[in-house]
A and B are shown apart, each in its own frame.
Chain A
Amino acid sequence: MTVESYEITRAKPSKSSAKEPSGAKPLRRINPTRIMLYSVLLVAAVYYLLPLYVMMMTSLKGLPEIRLGNIFAPPMEVTFAPWAKAWDTACTGLYCEGLKVGFWNSVRITIPSVIMSITIASVNGYALSNWKFKGSEVFFTILIFGSFIPYQVMLYPLVIVTRELGIFGSLQGVIFIHTIFGMPILTLLFRNYFAALPEELFKAARVDGAGFWGIFLKVLVPMSAPIFVVAVILQVTGIWNDFLFGVIFAGVKNFPMTVQLNNIVNTTQGVKEYNVNMAATLLTGAVPLAVYFFSGRFFVRGVAAGAVKG
């Protein structure tokens, strides 16, 4: 609970804490300790940024330049050809139509999965926080436990189930799977959020004659925009980055971008085109990175929500 509530109550800890007599001893002037501190932080920042830099540089070089063997050097001659090839013509196994196929597949998987999983989980969270019924806590506990079970344990039976439902190897199949496996964390997220809202609001709405759906749609949802944003960010990045479910349940023609990226890089025959590989990698990482950089604290909140104890 500590982590999540901290994030909620202190939207801007860096600024608010600046005035309080808190944290370590404030060191105002430049002194050796302070220089050390920033040095360490900068070195760490370099380690974290290095791969991004290398990807970028490599993707803008021609193959001959890459063979010179300096991955850190900026390109002498900038070329966007690898990007074009990665997007349009790179070979993923049998087909050579580039990553764009995977991109659109990922879009077609991600959007409905995000909508489905959030719709179901938000209603679940609402039922669990405001309309507890006999056994509801038991189901919730199993659900949270379930999120720790390795997916491998449930894979084969799920293949059977989806096959019986006639959705194995289809978009619906992979959307179904994402909805199921998104349920624990999202339900937890929504349940905790709704439980933290004043209970009297819910009571007032009942006195005002709103029913189960009326309270949810007219009172709770309109005042819960932040948590929906957090959930969307969590799900968009999570589902976009998925590999395992895509490769098993989506079917070859619906392979998401991650699967196609892996195929481009790891199953090509002949000359390895590192520049194309890196361009493809950047393209695949672009969507979650964009979400991450634009969402800022909402992403952090979603991440930290994983550490919340029910």
Chain B
Amino acid sequence: MNSISIRDLSLKFGEATVLDQLNLDVAEGEFLVLLGASGCGKSTLLNCIAGLLDLSEGQIIINGTNVTWAEPKDRGIGMVFQSYALYPQMTVRGNLTFGLKNAKVPREDIEHRVNRAAQMLQIEPLLNRKPGQLSGGQRQRVAIGRALVRDVDVFLFDEPLSNLDAKLRAELRVELKRLHQKLRNTMIYVTHDQVEAMTLADRIAIMRDGVIQQLADPFTIYNQPVNKYVASFIGSPAMNFLDGAYGIDEQPSFTSNNLDIALGRYNFKTRAEDNRPIYLGIRPEHVHVGNAAQEQPFNSDISVEVVEPMGSDTLVWTSLDNQPFHFRMDGQATVNVGDRLPIGFDPVKASLFDKTSELRL
């Protein structure tokens, strides 16, 4: 059974269409991440699901109930916000119990739920403090606790880790994953951070301009992006794109001025006609250097232009057929500007995109 179903959801602010005819099903217990750049409509979609924004068209069904016009409190959701949104004048306990008191939950029940959530999140010693006395990480735990005590099936997270520093973010990320594994609730999680998306998600929905570009598990999104936007959005450093044309003389190949790459076992989704302008995308980590390069179906010699050592690995910037190109090397490798290196890759790992539609071939 689907936990959440969204049918033909549209949202317009005056002239501007923010969400357009959007459909989405989230399975029970699934961790779904809405990923996209700012302004893509991901937070807006989450607010629609929460009932904080009125839709222009469409239906929202949560756990079999049509809640399109229900109040947020009646939707069976809990929500965690980026700025934590804790009530500053209430203690942590007050923050956790505010919603339950509004819902007239019996006192013993409130006590029980607060204790359980506090224990689970290790915030028991903080219960009588005010939010102003807590650190960022502690505040976000309390905010998660506030969703937890509601005893709901669906959790909504609106960029919950964005206000934390890098170290805390990594810690809480793991904790969130642990929490999901324990509770098995449905979670919808909005972020612009691809690492959070890849690490947490069962499935990722990548959004752009109010439209879901691709909805798939992280592995598929990484390996088989449906279009050039998704390909460039996921992965750091970003994917290389070589500009050229599709050729089909003896076998399928990618050609540009001085390049002729046989596409070999590339797994085509759709066939293109001869001479169609296309991009060949290859991730920097899929490029091999040195001896290993010789064994790849495609290889070439390049000259090193810029070196960016990062410790664990080193990023090398160069040109391939006069087009900018970069790849990853071992962090221990010594490379100097001007060095000539053999590189190679397997077109099976590449992604081809039509130049006009930018869709995957």
Contact = CB atoms under 8 A, between A and B. Distances in A.
Interface string B93-122: 000001100110000000000000000000
B78 interface: yes
Contact of B73 (A198, A201, A208, A218): A208
Contact count band on B: 20 to 34
Interface string A169-213: 000000000000000000000000000001011011111111000
The CB with the most chain B CB atoms within 10 A, among A204, A206, A218, A223, is that of: A204
Contacts of B87: 201, 204-205, 219, 223
Interface in A235-282: none
A201 B89 CA distance: 12
A145 to B, nearest CB: 23
A13 interface: no
B146 to A, nearest CB: 7
Given A200-B82, A203-B79, A208 B99 contact: yes
B85 interface: yes
A207 B77 contact: yes
Interface string A73-111: 000000000000000000000000000000000000000
Query: Which residue, B47, B82, B85, B146, has most C-beta atoms of chain A within 10 A?
Result: B85
Nearest to A214: B102
A209 B47 contact: no
A200 B143 CA distance: 12
A214 B78 CA distance: 19
Contacts of B146: 204, 208
A208 B50 contact: no
A222 interface: yes
B102 A207 contact: no
B81 to A, nearest CB: 4
Contacts of A214: 102
Given A207-B73, A207-B77, A198 B85 contact: yes
Interface string B131-170: 0000000000000001000000000001000000000000
A222 B146 CA distance: 20
Given A219-B87, A222-B89, A204 B79 contact: yes
A201 B95 CA distance: 11
A34 to B, nearest CB: 41
B50 A207 contact: yes
Contacts of A205: 87, 98
Interface in B25-72: 47, 50-52, 71-72
B83 A207 contact: no
Contact of B78 (A203, A206, A207, A223): A207
Interface residues of A, number: 16
Contact of A203 (B52, B86, B89, B98): B52
Contacts of B83: 198, 200-201
B290 interface: no
B81 A209 contact: no
A206 B73 CA distance: 7
Contacts of A209: 71-73, 99, 102-103
Given A198-B83, A200-B81, A203-B52, A218 B98 contact: yes
A208 B102 contact: yes
A192 to B, nearest CB: 19
Contact of B52 (A201, A206, A219, A222): A206
Residue from A205, A206, A208, A219 with most neighbouring chain B CB atoms (10 Å): A208
B324 interface: no
A15 to B, nearest CB: 22
B185 to A, nearest CB: 15
A208 B47 contact: no
Nearest to B98: A208
A224 B257 CA distance: 67
Nearest to B102: A209
Nearest to A221: B89
A233 B102 CA distance: 34
A207 B79 contact: yes
Contact of B99 (A200, A201, A207, A222): A207
A203 B73 contact: no
B88 interface: yes
A214 B103 CA distance: 12
Contacts of A218: 98
Given A205-B98, A207-B79, A222-B89, 19 more contacts: A198-B83, A200-B81, A200-B82, A200-B83, A200-B158, A201-B87, A203-B79, A204-B85, A204-B146, A205-B87, A206-B51, A207-B52, A207-B78, A208-B102, A209-B71, A209-B73, A209-B99, A210-B99, A223-B89
Interface of B: 47, 50-52, 71-73, 77-79, 81-89, 98-99, 102-103, 146, 158
29 contacts: A198-B85, A200-B81, A200-B83, A201-B83, A203-B52, A203-B79, A203-B81, A204-B79, A204-B81, A204-B85, A205-B87, A205-B98, A206-B52, A206-B71, A206-B72, A207-B50, A207-B52, A207-B73, A207-B78, A208-B98, A208-B102, A209-B72, A209-B99, A218-B98, A219-B87, A222-B89, A223-B87, A223-B88, A223-B89
